Amino acid sequence: MSPEQLFQRASREFLTQLAGLPKHLDAVMPMRRQHRRELPGDIRRLSHLLTDERDELRRDYLSDPAALSAYMRYFLPWNIYRLGILFSGLALDPGGDDPNGAATIVDLGTGPLTAPLALWLSRPRLRKRPLTFICVDRAPKPMRLGLDLLNSLAAAQGGLAPWKVTLVKGPMDARLREKADLLIMANALNEVLQRGEGELLEAADALSWHLSSMLTPTGAVCIVEPGVRPSAHLVAALRRGFLHRGLKPLAPCPHTEPCPMSGRGYTAWCHFNFDAEAAPGWLKKLSDEARLAKDNVSLSFLHFSTRGRKLEAGEGKSLVRAVSGPFELPAADGMAPHRFGQYACSDRGLTLLSLPRKHLVPLPGALIEATWPEYPETDAKSHALVLPMGGDLLIPAMLPVAAPPKGRAPGKSAAPRPAQAPRPIAGKGNAQKPGSSDKEATPKAAPAKSAPAITVDTIIAAEEPKAPRKPKLPSERPADRPGGDAKPRRRSAGKVAGKAEGKPAAKAGDKAKSADKPHASRAERKASGSASGKADGKPKGQKPGKQKGKAKGKPKGKA
């Protein structure tokens, strides 16, 4: 699994199993009807304790039944959703390339076994590997519930074997005899490194030494935290400690230079957002009931190993990790106003990607390679170095519109094929060839072929706003067609009646009488209708409604 596009679309199997999670939760943790009604309020209270009321949070908060129920039914599924999407894009291969290779996974601060559950649901290929999980936490009850939930999910797949799970009650700095091929800390770092700046760096260095000492010679460590500024600051401090201990980054860092997105003070912080639309409907409904609706989820993470991953950019290029989503940039002098930016991380520090089209902006988490200008500009707002991408697609504000190609109707220009976004790379072998994107975007005269080449002119022509449709004057409208496709013109009542019945039109005197009194009373109109009927040679009992329908030019028998 290539780690170069970190956040991929969740698989159907993962989402299907996550949608069926409530029945497994009910099996291992039944709820009374009254407690189910109180669940949204319990979720909201626990959310405040975990965020803005953190000082009041007790270390053993999951010993409270209401808090434990809220965590299991709300926070656990959302954490599985976040971790499952991350684990799907990371190169997590404990046991190496051997599909049957055994491996040991240590999960510190496991809670209700969040990480093993996310691995089981999101990485089905690992289910047949002989993996040994050592799950460590201070609270044994959430661990037991998590193990029961994992067994319930695995029962539909023939059981948990060959996985083995060992529960260890203890702190996260507990010393274990086993060395880890993969060490995971998910949503637990903030419980360890909540200190002042000076003490934080010292504690992070000590923790990095402890974690690195728990790894095998080829082991890896994965740290995941909520995507908020304080958590990102803790992750950046731990990253500094890993580098001092000789560990090398796998993701998301594309370099070993100091972190330019540490979140210290008011600086940018490294975090990734992705859509929550694919989350199960029951989970989104519960979030709405708790008044904690989510449009997206975010996380900050580190993936380091003793060997690292050798990534080399092409000659004259640099590796850049896209971080934020796209946003519109202010217009530059002489350029089209719609340029889009994206914050990224590179070995030169905080980077601002500048692209001419929104669809060219890479997805958050993509690792790309780009060529730096000789003298890059600095963004006045963020102080990031501006890295223009798709340089040959820069369009001056005033350019003539190209003439339409031969064989095409005037005023209809061919819609240009969208230029391809920078392709994620998977090591040096799959790196994009230098200058390939420039050749595709170089403006050239469109050849006279059935598929014209993409030029600056054709791009502008396709994006020209269409002129509003001018209404036609009555004299310009098409005449009535005999087939009845067009709406018939309105004719006088006498002519219509004469043609429909095969009789002469009403006399002019009758028209004059009806025209003399446009606002006549109902009785007068009825009398006038009877007289008109006699003038046309119709029987005395003719209903005025039918005559009225004929006067409007409608067919016989329709009111």
Could you report the per-residue pLDDT of 120-160, keeping only the tens digit for each? 999 999 999 999 999 999 999 999 999 999 999 999 888 99
Domain that holds residue 265: 12-305
Q: What is the pTM of this model?
A: 0.69
Examine the domain organization and report whether 153 and 216 are in the same domain.
Answer: yes
Q: Give the pLDDT of residue 513.
A: 43
Residue 21 in domain: yes
Of the candidates 94, 102, 118, the one whose C-alpha atom is nearest the C-alpha of residue 215 is: 94
The answer to whether residues 109 and 187 touch, using CB atoms and an 8 Å cutoff, is yes
Residue 140 shares a structural domain with residue 225:
yes
- Regarding whether 399 and 294 lie in a shared domain, the answer is no
Which pLDDT score, from 0 to 100, does residue 389 have?
86
Q: What pLDDT shows up at residue 29?
A: 93
3-state secondary structure 323-369: CCCCEEECCCCCECCCEEEEEEEECCEEEEEEECCHHHCCCCCEEEE
Cα within 13 Å of Cα(552), Cβ side: 11
Domain stops at, among 372, 405, 439: 439
Distance, in Å, from the CA atom of 559 to the CA atom of 554, rounded to the nearest integer, reads 8
Q: Do 243 and 321 share a domain, yes or no?
A: no
Instruction: Classify residue 194: in a domain, yes or no.
Output: yes
**Is 270 among the domain residues?**
yes
Stretch 344-349: mean pLDDT, rounded?
Answer: 94
DSSP letters spanning 140-206? HHHHHHHHHHHHHHHHTTT-STT-EEEEEES-TT---SSPEEEEEEES-GGGT--S-HHHHHHHHHH
Q: Are 112 and 146 in contact (CB under 8 A)?
A: yes
Q: Are residues 348 and 422 in the same domain?
A: yes
Q: In the predicted model, what is the mean pLDDT of the chain?
A: 75
Give me the pLDDT at residue 264, please: 83
pLDDT in tens, 454-495: 443 443 344 444 445 555 554 454 544 444 444 444 444 444
Could you give the number of structural domains in the chain?
2
pLDDT higher than threshold 80 for residue 242: yes
Task: Please tell me the number of Cα atoms within 13 Å of 19 on its side-chain side.
Answer: 11
Residue 542 placed within a domain: no
Within-domain flag for 3: no
Is 525 inside a domain boundary?
no
Same-domain status, 341 and 414: yes
Q: What is the pLDDT of residues 420-444, one digit of tens each?
A: 444 444 444 333 333 333 333 444 4
pLDDT of 39-89, one tens digit each? Answer: 999 999 999 988 877 777 777 788 888 999 999 999 999 999 999 999 998
Task: Find the CATH number of the domain harbouring 118.
Answer: 3.40.50.150
- 287 and 357 part of one domain: no
Do 127 and 206 belong together in one domain? yes
Residue 227 near residue 296 (C-beta atoms within 8 A): no
Q: Looking at the chain, how many residues does it have?
A: 559
Residue 458 lies in a domain: no
Annotate 25-66 with three-state secondary structure.
HHHHCCCCHHHHHHHHHHHHHHHHHHCCCHHHCCCCHHHCHH
End position of a domain, from candidates 401, 419, 439: 439
428 and 385 share a domain? yes
Q: Are residues 294 and 346 in the same domain?
A: no
Do 329 and 263 have their domain in common? no
User: Same domain, yes or no, for 51 and 135?
Assistant: yes
Choose the final residue of a domain: 259, 289, 305: 305
Domain-embedded: residue 156: yes
